[in-house]
Structure 1
Amino acid sequence: MIDLTSLFTFISLLDIAFAFSVPFSRSDTPSSTSINFTNADGFAYLVTVEFDGQPVQVQLDTGSSDLWIDSPGINLTPFANTGRNGTILYGPDGHRTVAGGPILVGPVQFGDFKVDKQAFISAPGSNATQPSLNQLGILGVAPTTGSQVAHTLKNTSYNGRTFLDNAFMMYPEEPNYITFMLSRDPVYGTTSGGTFTIGEVATEFAAITNTPQRKVLSTTSFPRWATTMDGIIVNGKTYSGHSKFNSTFVSAGQTIALLDSGTSYALAPRFYADAIFKDVPGAVFNMTQSMYTVPCDTKVNVSFVFGKDEYPVNPIDIVSVTHVSNSGDLTCSGLFLVADAGDLDIILGDTFLRNAYALFDFGRWATPGTSDPFVQLLSTTNQAQAWNDFDAANAVRLDSFKKLSKGSSGGNTTKDDVIPSPASPESSDSDLLRNSYIIIGLLVGVIVLLLVLFALVARGSKNVGYKPLPNVSRAGPGILDDEGYEKSYTDSAP
């Protein structure tokens, strides 16, 4: 059996070796910026943030508010120590990761924005990083009202606002919004990266400014990018309702849905998972993993309804290959998992967001804002075209997994390692393998040349050497700060 997690980690490492994240476009407005981000492992969207000019790759996260890093190679002496500590917990009980340490203040730059006195957490030993993928922190882009750092520094002389809030403060007369556009990997269908903008929209999706402004609501004091959903359409039949909340928050037939780039699939009540998969021949609900196991040729037309607008989902985003046996037999599962979403009804991650351009306006959640926060969505999927392309794309995907399993050994993937599928019939596994071999060959050649050069230089110098980075130990269970504040966040693993 092939270990899909190891395979995709290897491919991701190759991607990182040749990827970069820099501003790629500008408008006439000096504060606006547009930044490409890359996807490291199917879950983490990486961007570069500079700390006093020192670049660190961090994960871009719409589900949290704070900036923190665990980078042993960075010089932190230019930063002032506030004397306060912060601790952030991610994920549900039993699957938690933690980032904790002293709160520092100093010059931080992201894109074209530079904040001279930005507060962040130095979190040595955090288990929420992935050093092998060069992900050494998180930049949260949720509102300041959900910031643990701001909460901890509220009674001090330090500015605890989030990076985005400080950026908005620099140009208070300009729009206080961000946008996300997720790009689709041409082979495996995961989010390969995308575009993140501050204060401007991508030119090709300018029509989003004319779409309805959807009110953001929250059932708790913690701000979330959640709005009301008016149902789903499955193969022409509409399903709606089944919210856990009363009419105080939703009208009849509505549910509360969170738009979260930190989740790769979707979490929904059993009612909606049944609506999508129950009538699929051969579909079986897996009680242990809270998801449907379905035939790998499953083809379902699904659209989400917000207000009077429909947002179709590419059928390739509905099902994923989750297991390959030694003989090449495949197991596939639905990417709409069943779970209690806590203070929400539904969490819509990448499986939905790959099909829409999303704008998040902070309104009064930003310090200079006065209006209500809202979300705007622009559909980017042509439902008829996606339906027609599915069979060819799915055939390529299944054939690729079967061939990749030959001669490999490994274990099952779990719902924590769900690997979405490819969407483009133009790419094949042979292309992937050939390109991988070419890249590997080039890397080997570069390494050999570097070794030869190193040997030649070493002969002529008695003082040549290197200094290894210090080891970073893994953190234990997270602890709360002195006031008992806890920051929770549903990340990629349910």
Structure 2
Amino acid sequence: MHHSRLLQQCLALSLLASTLALHIPVKRQIIKKQSSPNAVNASRMSWSSPNLNLVTGFEDLSNIRYAGTLFLDGQQLEVILDTGSPDIWINTTGVTITHFTNTSAYAEINYGDGDLLSSIQGSVLLTQATFADIAVENQAFIYAISDGSTGSSPLGDPVDMVLNGLVGLGPPSEDSSIQDSLVQANSSVKGLTLLQNIFAQNSDLPQYFTFWIARNDGNETTDGGIFTIGEPSPELAQILDAPKLNLSGATDHWEAHADGVFINGQWYNATQSGEHNLTVIFDSGTPTANVDPYFVDLMYKSIAYNQTDDGTYFVPCDVQVNVTFSFGGLPYAMHPIDMTELIDVNENGPVCIASYGYLFNPTIPGAFLVGDSFLRNVYTLHHFNNWTTLGDPLPYTQLLSMTDPVAAAEEFELLNDDRISAFIDIALEGVTPTSVLPTSASSTSAPLSGITSASIPPTSAPVSSLSVPSSAAPSSSSALSSAVPSSAPLASPTAASFVTAASSTAPPSLSSSVVPQQSTAAGADIAKIDEALEADPSASSSSVDLSGLTRNTYIIMGLIGAALVLLIIICALVAKSASATRGYKRVGSAVQIEQHQPYTSEYRD
């Protein structure tokens, strides 16, 4: 029944595409801001605790942004929750702060570099803030009034425009842009981060927060999952017993050393050059992931049928990529549905790209910048550990696996059908969905040699139990100050996570032997691949093709004519059959056969 509905939708979409000769835009629907955000009391999972400090309004916006509610000066604001940066910035559009202290400092946060450089900047103000029902006084934040002189403004991102700003949830560090600006302004204000203030002003509160990011079920805005401060969710309290993964040092992002990674059942614990230092950065401000190209190739190259110049792999939507990370000797499986991104459905079928894209020029080989596609599979605890300055005990992270690889493999087909169905529903409703595609993609891409639709290997068997090789001993990891293309500090709202997206166009089709695919590859850039397959002479245009439209019209008229002829023939046969039975009369002397009780014994198999 499920497949029948999906087939009907595909046929409807196919007919629509063939009659109009138009390509469905590569966009996701932009979410309208809800008047009353859903409180994260974990109602979907039936978890509750009256003493938990829950972040209200924790929402999932189409698997692109995870937002919560912050009160500043009594105003309720919806903000991005970002574990990859420490500071707060608020978009002044539609927000007026009336009770504040002006520090006279002016701060700027840069995202990306080169042509993708964007920034937010504004005055540093102090006001009362409330987060997770915990109030703090004199909270420093950037009142962002303009973008930088180069590049695009993060305030212009289509998804972020429905939000009011960003709350940095990074570890305590000395890399805060707000704190740097206060020092330069010779201010006596310390400019502590929101979490630093919460823990400093509530000494009896354990210095950690936990979160789990829910997977979007096809709706535009859903409950975001779990977010607590000072206490774990009761049903997941075992996270307190998980291995403690220390930071490598003072840094503005949460990171940990990984023992290694299983890719389709094969163990890898070293880079291509043989270095055993795999550093994983956890960044909720990144929708997908960017990692060392060596590992991206291991994950996708054998199943991909095309690749852009920036490394984005086009892959079949129905092929499972099995990846399991190891931290502290424990396995953490990724759901295969999170390893690919559906970004289009056109006349040739669904279009998917790899969720893990290339991380270029990392300072540490083997770096993994993992965003929400990873974080949906783990319950995460980040502990400040009373850190205040260099030499103190280091902050640490604990992880609890939320994905059973066997169950994930079994439900993959259903989840894949659901996401395709949801995408088609949006397209047939005439809504313009929003795309999350990197601007750095080239306008041309050559197909991978030797890879065709017929050469795609069967789905890899799920790994039911994985044991980390004994040689996989944790090693020290150093800070990844510039693993992501960025100018100053590692900006988690990920490199151009807020870069303004220009008008998005759908990718032209590949040849009929290859299903077209496009890309959100990358956590560090939100933009788009414009005409990713433009160089392919067989690619169809996204504009209206008049000759094709005329040809399709003739074909449709021919089909309709054939259907009418068939209908006439059927009607004639029915009429003939009816006339043939008119001569029959009831036989009055017919003997009625004795009726017997039917056999009703219970059927047993």
Tell me if TM exceeds 0.5: yes
Distance 1:171 1:135 in 2: 28
Q: Within the alignment, does 1:103 sit opposite 2:131 as a pair?
A: no
- Are residues 316 and 125 of structure 1, via their aligned partners in 2, closer, same or farther at CA, if it must alter by over 3 Å? same
In the other structure, the counterpart of 1:211 is: 242
In the other structure, the counterpart of 1:487 is: 489
**Deviation for aligned residue 1:42:** 3.5
State how 1:402-413 maps to structure 2 within 5 Å.
402=424, 405=427, 413=435
Distance 2:85 2:339 in 1: 26
Distance 1:383 1:334 in 2: 19
In the other structure, the counterpart of 2:107 is: 86
- Are residues 347 and 188 of structure 1, via their aligned partners in 2, closer, same or farther at CA, if it must alter by over 3 Å? farther
Distance 1:23 1:190 in 2: 16
Q: Within the alignment, does 1:329 sit opposite 2:329 as a pair?
A: no
Root-mean-square deviation (Å): 3.2
In the other structure, the counterpart of 1:19 is: 37
Picking from 177, 183, 189, the partner of 1:158 is 189
| Contact 1:182–1:191 under 8 Å retained in 2 | no
Distance 1:235 1:128 in 2: 37
Amino acid at match of 2:177: Q
In the other structure, the counterpart of 1:3 is: 25
Q: Within the alignment, does 1:196 sit opposite 2:227 as a pair?
A: yes
Greater alpha carbon shift after TM alignment, 377-386 vs 253-262: 253-262
Deviations 1:142-201 (A, max 9, x none): 124221111222342223111110111012343211111101112379986222221111
State how 1:35-434 maps to structure 2 within 5 Å.
35-40=56-61, 42-126=63-147, 127-129=153-155, 133-142=161-170, 143-154=172-183, 155-187=186-218, 193-218=224-249, 222-242=251-271, 253-280=276-303, 283-284=304-305, 286-325=307-346, 327=347, 329-340=349-360, 342-344=362-364, 345-366=367-388, 370-402=392-424, 405=427, 413=435, 415-416=437-438
In the other structure, the counterpart of 2:574 is: none
Larger radius of gyration: 2
Greater alpha carbon shift after TM alignment, 343-352 vs 89-98: 89-98
| Contact 1:268–1:341 under 8 Å retained in 2 | no
How many matched pairs? Answer: 411
Any idea what SS the aligned residue of 2:34 has?
Answer: helix
Q: Which runs of 5+ in 1 are unaligned?
A: 247-251, 418-484
Deviations 1:61-97 (A, max 9, x none): 1111111212344443321111111111123432233
Give 1 or 2: higher strand fraction: 1
Q: Which runs of 5+ in 2 are unaligned?
A: 1-22, 43-47, 148-152, 440-486, 498-523, 526-605
| Contact 1:322–1:412 under 8 Å retained in 2 | no
- Are residues 96 and 54 of structure 1, via their aligned partners in 2, closer, same or farther at CA, if it must alter by over 3 Å? same
Greater alpha carbon shift after TM alignment, 202-211 vs 133-142: 133-142
Which aligned runs of 4 or more in structure 1 are off by greater than 6 angstroms? 188-191, 409-412
Distance 1:80 1:23 in 2: 34
Distance 1:309 1:300 in 2: 20
Distance 1:276 1:380 in 2: 21
Give the fraction of aligned pairs with identical amino acids, expressed as a percent.
Answer: 30
| Contact 2:291–2:356 under 8 Å retained in 1 | yes
- The TM-score normalised by the length of structure 1 is 0.75
**Deviation for aligned residue 1:45:** 2.1
Distance 1:95 1:371 in 2: 37
Any idea what SS the aligned residue of 1:342 has?
Answer: coil
In the other structure, the counterpart of 1:448 is: none
Deviations 1:236-291 (A, max 9, x none): 211221188x9xxxxx53311101111111211222112212333xx235142412
- The TM-score normalised by the length of structure 2 is 0.62
Any idea what SS the aligned residue of 1:160 has?
Answer: coil
**Deviation for aligned residue 1:230:** 1.7
